[in-house]
Amino acid sequence: MAKSDDIYMSALEGKSIPILTLDNKWHQLFTQTDMTPEIEQLADELNALIERDGKIRSETKDIKKLKKKLLGEIVPLRDKANKSGSSTAIEKEIQDRTRLINDCNDRLDSHQVELLDLSRAIYDIDYKLMIETMRVCYERLHGNTDYIKTMDEWISRARIELKKNIIRLQETEIENYNLYSYMHQIFGPEVIELFDMKYDPDRRHPIRRPLSGEESDYVE
């Protein structure tokens, strides 16, 4: 029995979905069931996107630090140029820093666009991974439920059969006990020895024999 993905999508509607491969509870799910090839592939794609996202964010921080440093250097250069008059060397330094600042701005804009794309891609892959995870876990739960039902029915039948067999065993032991006792009284111990009887008349009466731990587990 398989559910349509629409049902899983409906269940997730309006829910905040964690990034699954970063969630330890998601990894713990697969200590109970195996990952499918589809889940492994989606997880690998998601991890690659997350790694790229982290790299871009780290580079963005570095670029912002460099831009701040360059901006901080331009102000004193301007002051120095104003005080010393026109200076080709100082103007060149200012121009170099201005160019680098513009490069930083272009890279920051490019990174911002990529981060937005990565954010959408991460959400899409994560969503697909969530749907596939729900499908796999549902199928495993459904399969386990069927197995539990089957085994429960088998155990119920086995309990009844075990109880019947224990009663038969006790009845047979009583019968042997009585046969031995009567034969012993009628024919005497010497005659009984001819039958090579291996029955201990001093054994506790079978009807009073307590059930073993294993038997009591199955007999209600």
Residues 77-92: tens digit of each pLDDT:
887 777 766 667 888 8
pLDDT in tens, 53-112: 999 999 999 999 999 999 999 888 887 777 766 667 888 888 899 999 999 999 999 999
Q: Report which residue type is found at 166.
A: I
pLDDT in tens, 43-52: 999 999 999 9
CA–CA dist 98, 66 (Å, integer)? 12
Whole-number pLDDT of residue 186: 87
Closest C-alpha among 54, 39, 218, 194 to residue 130: 39
